Structure 1
Amino acid sequence: MSVTESKAVSKASKSTRSPKKAAVTEAVEQALANAPVEMVPVSQLVHIAQNVRKHKPDPEKLQELAASILSVGVLQNLVVCPMPDGMLGVAAGGRRLSALHLLLEAGSLTAVYPVPVKIVEPGMAMYVSETENSKRENMHPADQIAAFAKMSETGDTAAQIGSVLGYTTKHVHKCLRLAGMAPALLAELAEDSINLDQLQALSATEDHERQLDVWKNAYGIYRTPRELRDAAVMKEVAAEGNSCLMFVGRDAYEQAGGGFTVDLFTDEGFIRDTVLLATLTREKLTGIAESVAQAEGWSWALGRPDGISTYGEDAENYLLLKQPEPVMTGEEQARVDALDKQLGELSERSEQDQADFETMDYAEAKCQAKIKEIEGDAAIRAWSDDVRAKAGVVVSLSRGELSVRRGVMKRCDLPEIVGDTDKTGVNQHLSSIRTEDIDAAPEKKSLSAVLVKSLSSERTLAVQAALAEQPQMALVIFVHDCLKSTFDHRSYTLSTLKVTLHAKTGLMLDNAPTSADGLAMQHLTAMHEAWQKLLPEDWHKSWDWLLTWDTPQLIAIMGYCLAKTLDGASERLSDKGGKAGKDLEPVEALLNFTLRDWWQPTKANFFGRISKELISDSLSQAALGGASRDVLKMKKGDAAERAEEDISKTRWVPDCLLPVTDTPVLPESDAVTAADSDESTAATQDAETPSESTHIAA
């Protein structure tokens, strides 16, 4: 029996029962009270149709019940009625009879095993069965935890407790661990104010104060077991540069009971209560969202630290509507034109020798701010009243700044809207502004598995070379992997290095033959030859010669050997971000690695292996618009050569080889969208990119 299966079933109060049913129940209880308990052989008992419990019992639970009966006997009598053939039909206690039959089949009991029963009239059998099953209540989880804890204090093991009470050893172990939870939480469990899954999530930390803080400050979707567990194990985070702390304010955080841990190495300290800070952040964002919704007429409002993502749970719950084309009034357009003219005049004056650049920069900033405000008002006004009546607004933090995402639709509201074709006009309006869920954009052309493997192998070789040149970093990664396997053997985090004492460089070369003459292989080959010259004859037969080497030498050669075990090759782009060799990113960040320092795309390794359309897209991303258009008119081979020549003059590499924190050079049409991307998007490349102004109506 799992922990989650032991849930209390609420009893129906007597006041909710009908008078007739109450009378029948009273009659059944009276009949059972008058019937004496008799012992009959198990072979005389049979199942009958009058038993209202029709579903077959769970096999695992039935085995547990059988084990309990074998250990302590049948503790509760069965209710039976006489049958015409002399047998006794079981009206209440069918599961116990099935468990007894299991024991008979296994040879653990004999046919004459005595079973306690109460005998009632056949006409009463159905009522007895219904009454017993409707009144049955599983042992409450809080009672289980308390009972197991008391039995454990007497010296009983989990296996002994389970065998006596009919539970699995695993289930008893879980309950015994929960017995050490904060007493206040156990009290809430008994009152059904917290469920067993939530309690189990909070047990990720043994700190009672932490358990209570997390539970007290969590609400709504943040009370799911996953959210609770993440919050419980979250460690202190640096206060310096923390966007949530800057948004809420240090004073507000401290006034709410939050504190800081300060050490000798930082003036700002560390945030001690991250759960409280998250709660304050949500509350403040929610207040702003509600103000925006009320001022602009949106149906609902939500405040959250991260923006709405276009994948995962957010994608299942929300649909992001496209910003409708803003239309400015004549007066607004005239003001924008005047401000544009003013900006042009300021630009001309800045070219003069005696220009006051500071003053003109300030004037330009004011003009641009006014234009942005006018355009923001027009963008807000573009949302129709029909859409506002159904959709909502989400306020979040993006790069530490306030971000307002209008036009967020709850998916549960979509069926109603889709069916509304004539009454409100909402359906027609939505059809023109809904996101790619309905009018999907052309699917992005994917790369072949062979090319992805080749590119990720090229990237791996480059990182190997960079890592080999920094042996101290290789040692750091190796020690970290050793610690994970030694002190956290249950960790699901894979080791960074594939330390099988087999270098992966040759495999990378097989995957990407064009890398043989690349810069990374040149460095790796030079290092390999240099180290090989230092190895004595028959070096592999003994390590005595290594005892003469000093520590820096040992670290250096170990770093080289470890670097060559790195394996980031993959045959498909990552689900999140569409990256080739995404597992290399932590190592690249540690090394401050830039792929373009080691590798550049050529006709042989990239352009000759993709379509002309993708070649054109690549040149466009590298801000080579003219070349991008020219290659579409060329033959494939010529286009690849042209791309290699032009790209060699830039620092461009394919987006699939960039870490998610890097932003590739974009054409002007995409640059504005990328500039507004969410802070979490910069970390994952998968979250929502706010495409509208964060202007808030007064």
Structure 2
Amino acid sequence: MAMITAKLSQLRLSPLNQRRVKPAAIESIADDIAAHGLLQNLVAYEEDGLFWVFAGGRRYRGLKELAKRKTIKNSDSFPVEVRTKDEAIELSLAENFQREDMHPADSIRAFAALRDTGMDVDEIATRFGQAVSFVYKMLRLSALNPALMDILAKDQLTLEAAKALTLTGDQEQQLKVFKASNGHAHTIRRMLTTEKVTTESGAFLFVGREAYEAKDGTITVDLFSQGDEGFADQPEIVQELAEEKLDALADEYRAAGWFEVSATLDQPYDLYTKGYLYQSQREPTKAEAARMAEIDTEIEAIAEAEGEDSERIEPLSDERDAITEALRIYTPEQKAIGGVALWVSRDGSLGQRVYRAKAEPRAKGSGIDGPAPLYGNSLFADLTRIKTQIVQEGVASNPALALDVLLDSLAGQLLHGGRSYQMALEVQAKAVPTDVPDELMATSDVRPVEETMATRFASLPIEGRFDAIRSMDGDDKMALLAGLVATMVDGTVFAGGSPGERHRHFEQIAKAAEVDVSSRWTAPIAVFDRMKRPALITLLREQVGDASASNCATIKKKADLAVNVSERLPAKWLPAPMIVGAFDQADLPELDEADAEDIEEDAEMA
């Protein structure tokens, strides 16, 4: 017996585990691990370079769920007790016979009963061997409507849905929302926060909690978040403060002499069409030149005496880089023709882009007729990212196609003079990000190809990788090729951008992969929540007819309208950007050399 730490990618669920029926409530197990860590190690035997878990299967599934949520990484390590394979069956059977998990409803009532006897949170935590924060959350759940507690006990209400219901303390409202939402956690959360802004949103982070609360803004804390995150109850205060802060920053740029300055909460949709304005290089002052010469002399002396890896060199190099960076400026002449776009990024930072304001705007191709009025820029981009995930999955399962895609991209660039940004596959060994909000994937079991690759090729070493690849059999090599090529296939239409040559290539790959998008993803309610009211009515009229659209047009609340539209659309309906072949007829104007370089740089920054 030995205790080690092993990467999640090295772990597998052993077929010798005596619990064959897939256990329920894996999501709640994952939540508990996320909140408190892995409190008990896994037990496994080693075989073929992997560790096969035969005790702790539910905890292992919980870890895999956290990896799926991107809360942890496949490269993270966890404690594993290593036993022999001969011990696996006996120990697995003993573990499952000895354990009978307590139902969440019983746990919640037990915590509440201890509280009612006069025990405080710290005493209860000690009694149950749990973290104080966990006990506090359980006690918050005990304040649910008693009828909901009974429903939870009957497994007719999930723990996730129960957590979402705690966003309101009104027990009558809890019951009404539960019935109206059919017990779906994401719907409950949406219904209780429709008029609020999350404290993790870009606008709130940009404003800051202190400034918001100084304006008498209040926050509903989400007790099941990490930390004190929640929802700002007065979104109008957030918007007002954000706009004031942006306007003040815009005034500073105008005062500095810029020809055009815009400041908006969201990134401008047409920014992609504007040409770049690159900084000029000024001559260093005498003091700057002298200091750079001193730094060069000091670095040379240190390297000679202590070696080039001396820790004393890095701060000197950083200082020199800072001086060099300060030499890059925009001249008054550039500012006279330049524009600055300011907006709030998703992480709350200030987004900004300098462009040629007086340059003629580039014509934008429409790609397809339907989506433009229906889907906002951000949603359009997310939908094409989901489509990209599904096509990547198809390419990863078809090594012959992956080889064709790779050869097509190389031949297009090296034989026909094409540019990398025009290809659906940019041969730069750069994985394409396809992350989208979790709520858009609520109805899909599609997994990012990089996760599948990390699992299948977990044993591929860093040291000696070339020799390991050389020793692979043909099938493994082709599977590795397919997966790696798939991660670089990109069909994303970036927010504010237009379909172009790259997207026509992507559609050819999607057809060759024979992917059925509707079998891998259906539109969750989150899609309709992000569409504007007129777009929802137009969509319903196009798909169902005038009568249905007219009936729904009388619905006052946007959230209710979104639900009605989602329920009336035909089975296997897909948003236009996600239909295979959507961008076959993209018709973009020819670009000159400078324009092409601008677009390529935009794509790299996206």
TM-score by length of 1: 0.28
Q: Structure 2 length as normaliser, TM-score?
A: 0.32
Greater RCO between the two (CA within 8 Å, min separation 6)? 2
